[in-house]
Structure 1
Amino acid sequence: MERNRKDREGGVLSAVAELFDLPADVVAGLPHLEMVGSRQLYLEHHTGILAYSDTQIDANTTAGVLRVRGERLTLLAMTAEELRIGGRIAAVEWVEVKGG
């Protein structure tokens, strides 16, 4: 039964995306990342900052935790759904949160 529900929801999202000529990831609220070289990262659809230092920033998203590592990292801009990170970005990774 759970599988049928997921199939229906996926079908509805796909239909809405197609109807309005929108990318399915935008309709589903999935995170969207853009990088400008190794100096700036733009993230849409975050749900908050979990950790912040000049060498690591962890952002929560609907798809998991996005970890940005580097040097002289800073939040250049942040709104309820978007953030822009500047500095020398060395790595960007999805991390698994362990715990209960």
Structure 2
Amino acid sequence: MDRLDLPVNLASGVARMELLGNRSLYIDRHRGVLAYSAEAVDINAGTVVVRVQGEGLELVVMTDEELRINGVIRQLRLVE
């Protein structure tokens, strides 16, 4: 079988994250929100949990494949 030249994150199903300053986080290919408050959001990203901490956090977009969090983002942690 021939090997496809796909980016690693597409081939392995890993979530893709994009942080815009400290005000907006976009996550593609997530697997659900585990916990949510205005100060912390835990997101299942497959092999890790993405823990977002800050102030006034809001889930402004959430679909089966993507989500966007707005607010003042103080910290991002990847928890295995």
Please indicate, yes or no, whether the TM-score normalized by the shorter chain is above 0.5.
yes
Asked if 1:75 is matched to 2:77, the reply is no
Extract unaligned runs of 5+ from structure 2.
none
Count of aligned residue pairs for this structure pair: 79
Report how far residue 24 of structure 1 moved: 1.9
Alignment counterpart, residue 62 of structure 1, candidates 46, 49, 52: 46
Q: Which runs of 5+ in 1 are unaligned?
A: 1-11
How far apart are 1:27 and its partner, in Å? Answer: 2.0
User: 2: CA distance between counterparts of 1:23 and 1:30?
Assistant: 10
% identical equivalent positions: 43
Could you tell me the TM-score, scaled by structure 2's length?
Answer: 0.91
**Higher helix proportion (structure 1 or 2):** 1
Bigger relative contact order, structure 1 or 2 (CA pairs below 8 A, ≥6 apart): 2
1:23 to 7, 13, 16: 7
Note the aligned Cα RMSD (angstroms).
1.2
CA distance in 2 between counterparts of 1:64 and 1:24 reads: 16
Q: CA deviation at 1:26?
A: 1.3
More strand by share: 2
Asked if residue 43 in structure 1 is aligned to residue 27 in structure 2, the reply is: yes
Residue by residue over 1:46-99, the C-alpha shift from the partner in whole angstroms, topping out at 9 and shown as x without a partner, is 111110000000001212110000000000101101100000000000123xxx
